[in-house]
Structure 1
Amino acid sequence: MREIVFDVETKKSLDEVGGRDHVEALGVSVVGAYFYETKEYRAFEEWEIGAFEERLRTSDLVIGFNTKNFDYPVLQPYFKQVRIASLPTLDIFEDVTKQLGHRLSLQALSSATLNAKKTSDGLQALVWYKEGKIEEIKKYCLKDVELTRGLYEYGKEHGHLLFDSLYDSRVHAVPVNWKGQTHMPLRKIIENAFLSRQRLFIEYVSRQKQEGEEFKKKRKIDIYAMNGKEISAYCHLRQAIRNFKLEGILAAEPVNEFYKAPQDVQSSLF
């Protein structure tokens, strides 16, 4: 697939342009990208953005970190052919924020998930730009692209990313589902199984894990109740009723077995 991972470094800070309402005025110093089709990293300077636009225009998926709220608005003034908001996009920052309800930095996710760190920060990149050290910006930007690519590939393979919690100093998992759904949507599979009282094998990610466990687990369940955000189901492994958040379920496969929910048995008595 023609997937592209990218990151943008700017010429100005938010303070210099009057705040977040003027992101489009920041200007681009460097765009860093990884192209899966050719397996290459490349850094583009401001005068080369037209070449990057051409590669982006034919992409199947664009992957980034805080792409929609930052990188895209910064880039759009440079683009002549592409309406950037229409591109198929996977924004890791957006997905993680939706799951957790709060933000995590690229550094926080990379450190726990990949055991890797950023080499610098955006403020230093601004200093380098003013000093004319474009090659330093390129190295830094491409390292961020490498980290973003690493998070994407880890999440795609494992169904979650990791982060160190400031509240309990433990490693937690945040579920992601980036494998793509070319078949029946996952929620529909779960709804159909519930309505027909058909058992499911599910693969899901829990936020925390016990000693000797993994974050990603597989369970055979009978769904007893379902609402907008979670299901209540009998877990055959635990032999007890458990609640599973829908956002944490990565896959579901119907089993050729059927069951009766407690409410079915109760209604049959009358």
Structure 2
Amino acid sequence: MGEGDPAAGGFYYKFVTKDIVYFDLETQRTAGDVGGWNRKQLMKVSLAVIFSTKDGNYTIYPEKQVGELVTRLQRADMVVGYNILHFDYEVLMGYTVLDLPHYLPTLDLMVDVERAVGHRLALNALAQATLGIGKIADGLDAIRWWREGKLLQIAEYCCFDVKVTRLVHEYALQHGELFYTDRFFRKRKISVNWRCL
């Protein structure tokens, strides 16, 4: 039985009938390359990855398939990501006329977490404190790999980021809380209410 197999039962089965799409992308350029963070539409997609709870599969989209990616996101019951409203969608809007933040049903985990704690937290901080796992690289590594032509490494990193986002979201759905470590190295709890999805 695979992870997406309804016969497997458990928590995952609750999502089989809903098409929850976890999404992340990596870029070809840094903010410095394009003249600042207000010009994200010029940063260009290197690779994007989604995971769909409906089919239980990861799908990788290179830049030439960004149109297909946008179409796929439109079919989702909910798109879930970390900082996708203010980063990933803005990068994608360099390829489409759609106003994605207002067009797609979206849960941006970072927005809710920031609202709860009063400041931004990295996905890595939540994953380490909540699940004991950490990211394997960062966005600057992915840009360097793009310049070196190492697309497989970008794909592996982006898939792992999507998996971490999914695990953090699913933990919060099950337990109604997440954790992070504050600047005094104390483990702190964040109450979240994402059960309506």
Which amino acid in the other structure matches residue 149 of structure 2? Answer: G
- Tell me the equivalent position of 2:31: 14
Unaligned runs of 5+ in 1: 182-270
Whole-angstrom distance in 1 between the partners of 2:37 and 2:66: 23
Residue by residue, what CA displacement relative to the aligned partner does 1:130-152 show, whole Å, maximum 9, x if unpaired? Answer: 01111110000010000000111
Instruction: Provide the secondary structure at the position in 1 that maps to 2:120.
Output: coil
Whole-angstrom distance in 1 between the partners of 2:49 and 2:39: 22
Instruction: Provide the secondary structure at the position in 2 that maps to 1:68.
Output: helix
The answer to whether the aligner puts 1:36 opposite 2:53 as a matched pair is: yes
- Tell me the equivalent position of 1:265: none
Cα drift, residue 164 of structure 1: 1.1
TM-score w.r.t. length of structure 1: 0.64
Runs (4+) of structure 1 exceeding 2 A deviation are none
Unaligned runs of 5+ in 2: 1-17
Q: How does 1:227-242 map to 2 (within 5 A)?
A: none
Whole-angstrom distance in 2 between the partners of 1:78 and 1:137: 20
Q: How does 1:122-201 map to 2 (within 5 A)?
A: 122-167=139-184, 169-180=185-196
Cα drift, residue 79 of structure 1: 2.8
CA RMSD, Structure 1 to Structure 2 (Å): 1.2
Cα drift, residue 83 of structure 1: 3.4
Instruction: Provide the secondary structure at the position in 2 that maps to 1:5.
Output: strand
TM-score w.r.t. length of structure 2: 0.88
Instruction: Provide the secondary structure at the position in 1 that maps to 2:121.
Output: coil
Q: Please tell me whether Structure 1 or Structure 2 has the larger radius of gyration of its CA atoms.
A: 1
Whole-angstrom distance in 2 between the partners of 1:101 and 1:14: 25
Q: How does 1:87-98 map to 2 (within 5 A)?
A: 87-98=104-115
Instruction: Provide the secondary structure at the position in 1 that maps to 2:93.
Output: helix
Structure number having the greater strand percentage: 1
Instruction: Provide the secondary structure at the position in 1 that maps to 2:80.
Output: strand
How many residue pairs get aligned? The number is 179
Whole-angstrom distance in 1 between the partners of 2:110 and 2:104: 17
Whole-angstrom distance in 1 between the partners of 2:69 and 2:38: 25
Whole-angstrom distance in 2 between the partners of 1:25 and 1:54: 21
Deviates more, 1:120-129 or 1:51-60: 51-60
Structure number having the greater helix percentage: 2
Q: How does 1:85-124 map to 2 (within 5 A)?
A: 85=101, 86-124=103-141
Cα drift, residue 78 of structure 1: 1.7
- Identity among equivalent positions (%) equals 37
